[in-house]
Structure formats: structure tokens, C-alpha cells
Structure 1
Amino acid sequence: MTSRRTVLLAIALVTLLAGPASASYAGDKPLVTVMTGTITGGYAFTLGNSTYSGTLDPGDSYTVAFEPLLPADARITDTRVYVYWAWSRAGQQAVYPTMRVLARGGEQQELGRAERYVDSKGFVSTNDFFSGMDVYPVAEPGKRTTAVTVTNAADENASFVVQGVGLLVVYESPSAPRGMLWVKEGCDMLYSSYGVETGMATSRIEFEGAIDTGAVRSATLHLVAPSGGYTRTDVPEKNAVSVNRKTGDRLPAFIEGILEAIFPGYNGKEWTDAFDATEQSQVGADIREIAPYLRSRENVVTVRDNGDYLLLTNAFLWVDLGEEQA
């Protein structure tokens, strides 16, 4: 008799072979680069006072207020609003959400969606609904956004939940350092369950381009993962974030420890239990200083699930290069 485990593994394999448009718990939807360059300035990302919305039926609204901290002389060049949503359904049928998004920053403006990133289990089962992230550029980024309201604009009896709303502000400032910024977006649902092993439930983030590591003063890796870190049962080392870490042909742990003490960063770095979501604040985040582990090129970050269940949606990398040389 065919075992349940064999059936689940077969389901996972078929899902992975279905092509880039498929969905699954595996790391098969890498984040895409939407912004990269060198600026004198920086970025600010905030979830404001986001909390879990509960079910939003047609006509229901949800509002998040923001107070992004910027230098007094900042000139805002780009603003993007991220709506993190889940459980989009009409009864027991998976449907895409219909939403109206308004931004307030002095005057109120309706935002037009630029991108929608979606993922799901990828196989027929109960509660196989869509989850994702919608992206809304702000038409007049120079005006500071102070609040965002999301309304369920569906005509039929369709509902969804909002896990939170994020606000990204990119700015220039003569008083700020010169640095390199990468902004990556997407939605990769990761869950090492239903035959998807931990190694498969891993998303790879590649930061393209060269970095003058000798000029780096600091480097901040900022990851966003709805549901990341929030589990109903305590799973040890439920997720992991690694930077330039080679996992093949690993040496014994005590030898690895000695080499890392003598040659810091020789094999990158890994952190476990990285994200910090809760039942009320369901958008997990992880912010790390990674300068010791940077390479001059081909920098790679991986996010791995080990029973946590998370959606990897955003990655920001800011490399502080200090003052520009004359």
C-alpha cells in the first residue's frame, strides 16, 4: 500500500515541476529587484500601528497610521505602500481580493496598484486560499504619507484579512551618508510540511552588483515576512536567515567554531528564530548588521522555514559607504 508520506512527496514534486506560475510551500518564487542604486540619503520602512484586521467583508475598512522617522532635510524620492493580505475567499472558494486603498498625507489620494504578488499551498485541500502582497506607489512621494486605509471593494460576498500595511520611504539628504540601496519584493510562501522538506522550504535572495567592501562602514539587511515567528506551538529553530553561508560539505561544529573565531565571516553567518510576529502584530521583521559577512559580489541571503510558516515579501539592503571621496 502506498504510504501517506509517499503521496505527499509526490504532490510536492508535481507542484514544483508545474513551472514558475505554480504555487507551493517551497521556495519557488524568489523576490524581484524593483529599486537599486547609490544615493546620499537612505530609506525608512515602518509598519506603523499595524495589527491583524480580522475578516474584512465587503464595505469594511482598515486603517494604519505612520510616523516615518526622516532627517529634517530629507527630500523624499520614492514612496511605496505594501498591503499584506491573506485568507482571500468567497465561501470556501479561493478568490483574489478587490480592495480600494487611500493614502492620507495632507490631502487624501486613491492609490493605483502597481504589483500583486500571490502564493498559496498549491494543492487541493481545505482552506487553500490565496495570500499575498499588493504594492501601491504614491503618486506624489514628496508629500509625507501619514495614514493608509484599505477597504474591501468586492461586490460579491468575498472576504480577506489584512495582516498589516508597510510604508517604504526612500529619501535624499545632504546630511546623510552615501550608500547603496537594494529594494526587493514578492511573495514566497514557505512551510516545511505536507512533504516539503526544510531544504525545499528555502527562499534565495541574490543581491546583484559589486560592492567595494573596503569602503563599507556598515550594512543593514532588513527582511519582512508576514506570519514569520508566529506559531501556535513552540517549534525550536523554526526559521533561519543566512548570509553567504555555504551549507554543503560542512565541517564538524567545533572546527567551524574555531575557524569562525579566527576568521570571522569566512563562511558567512546564520541566525535561527529570526522573525518576531505575534498574534496581534502578524508581520514579522528581521533587521541585521551584516557588514562582516559581505562579499565584493554575488551576495546571497537565504530564508529557511522549519515548521514556522511564513510569507517572505520584502528585502532591503542598505550598505553605508560613508562620505563620498573628493
Structure 2
Amino acid sequence: MTATPVLVLLDHAADGTLRPPVRELLTLARDLAGDAEVHGVWAGGEDVAAALPVLGAQGVTTVHRLVTDADPHLSSVLADGLQAALGASGASLLLLVSSFENKEAAARLAVRTGAGVVTDADGVTLQEGQVVAHKTVLAGTWTTRCAVTAPSAVVTVKANSVAAQDAAVPSDPRVVDLPVAVAPSSTRVRVVERTEHAASGRPDLGSAHVVVVGGRGTEGDFAPVEELADVLGGAVGATRVATDEGWIGHDAQIGQTGVTVSPRLYIGAGVSGAVHHRGGMQASGTIVAVNSDPDAPIFEIADFGVVGDLFTVLPQAAAELRRLQG
């Protein structure tokens, strides 16, 4: 396994800039590749030129740019492209950022190739030639190690699982166009419309280092949550109750039926800590809870808890942080 290249899907924004978790994956890929090369897959019509300096700093040797008339936003088309890239690179391990779209593509790829798939991993190692993925399951109550026994492995890795570092020796990545023969079944579904969310200026919820979350206790007023998130340069999240009530969009929901996050710092304000929410955030590095109910379940997993009114605590915290920032 260590003698073959490691392949990484290069998730990027519409302007061609790499999404932050990709640097983490490339750092992990270098460690796993050993003396072998790290290759990247570029899907979409965006120009790869803007990403090349970062890819070079990460030691990527080859970028396989998928060429197809089909829409790469379709998971079935992306799976066709990833299969082609695995063949072209000779890689036996593919790493992807853990997202809804990527996990769906990984599942399709596994069906077509017989690869072993592990999703939402927070670590990957090689043990006796086998890929072993580490992940928490059952709402964060168990830590598991999953060994892939198939000839090839596909692993989606949660953001903030690896400290991104540049390669000791940078590279000069070469870009190779890779024509993709899309299967007829892959285009049975088509995208009729795409609507870009308005930019909030905050980091992406799934990959943010800091996440401030509002729950039922906000009673619909997310102003203190948003203020503290902005001071910390973090993202804003919510519990299912808050999104179901229409206080904030469903794309902010964290939990088993929402986004899974693993930030370095999680702050829950007015969050009770129900099991379905804990399943989406319990892997966070440091958990801070602010709740007026001293018996709230979230205090059981919190590293630091404040029993108090969030409408008093959060503005005071934001003011003090501003003072410390000068």
C-alpha cells in the first residue's frame, strides 16, 4: 500500500480556490504515501491555476483534471471521474473531505469498483499494509478502528482532524487532462438549477475551527450567537429545534440528521444536548456550554460550563474578547 500513490479529491470554490480541509487531506496523504507520490483530482470547469501554488507547497506532483460534458456536481458523474482517476494514478487509496456530496460519490464508487469505504473518519493510518480508519460512532460514545481489507480504500475525513502543514520540499505540479467516459446511467438525473447561498463572511460550518451554536434557549434571537461567532471568526450553527422553528436555515443544523462538525472550539448557547445533536458535535476539541438549566445534558460532555442566561453571558464574553483583541 505504501508503494502506491495516494489520491485526493481537490474540493474547491467557484473561484478555483481550495477549500481549507483539502490542505489537511494533502498533509495526511503525504504521511500515508511515504516515498510514493500524492496526486489530486480536479472536478469542474473552474481554472486550476489559482490552486497550483498551494498544491505545490503541499507536495502534489500530478493533478488529474476531469474532462467531461456531463455535470460533475452529480455524484454519479463524479464517481465515474474518480474511478478514472484511480486508474490513471495507480492509487489504491482515495481521500475526500467528509461532506454529503462526497459521501454519496464514495458510495457509488465503491459499488462500481469493490473498494472498501469508511466515512467520517478522524484519522487514517497504515498497519501491516492495510488502511485503518479511525472514527467515533454511536453519538461519539465509541471510538473505532476500521481496517479496509479490499484492494483499494476510499475514506472521507472530517475537517479539523489533521493539522495542515506544507511539505518539506515543494513540488511543481503538472496538470493532466483526464477524459472521462460517463456511463449512460450516470446522467439519468440532471441538475436543472443551482442557487448559490449569499456569502455571510463566516467560514463554512463543516470545516470551521470555531462554531457557536444556538438552541431552543435563544427563543429565536440569534443576535448574541452571531456576535460571538463574528468576534471569534467562527461559524454559526443551530439545533434541530431552532431550524424547525424557522429561526435559522436548515443548512445550519448540527446533528445526526444535519451537519457533523468537529471544530477545535464548540460553544453551545441554550443547547440542551439531546443525543441526536451530540452525535454531530461530540468529537469537538473543546466544548463550552452556556445554559440556564444546571441539569441540561450538555453539561455532561462539556469541558467548561456556564449556568446562566445566554443573553447576558454571550454579550459579556464578546465584549471581553474585543477588549483583549485591542
Same fold at TM > 0.5? no
Structure that is richer in helix per residue: 2
- State TM-score, norm by structure 2: 0.24
- State TM-score, norm by structure 1: 0.24
Structure that is richer in strand per residue: 1
Higher RCO (C-alpha under 8 Å, 6+ residues apart)? 1
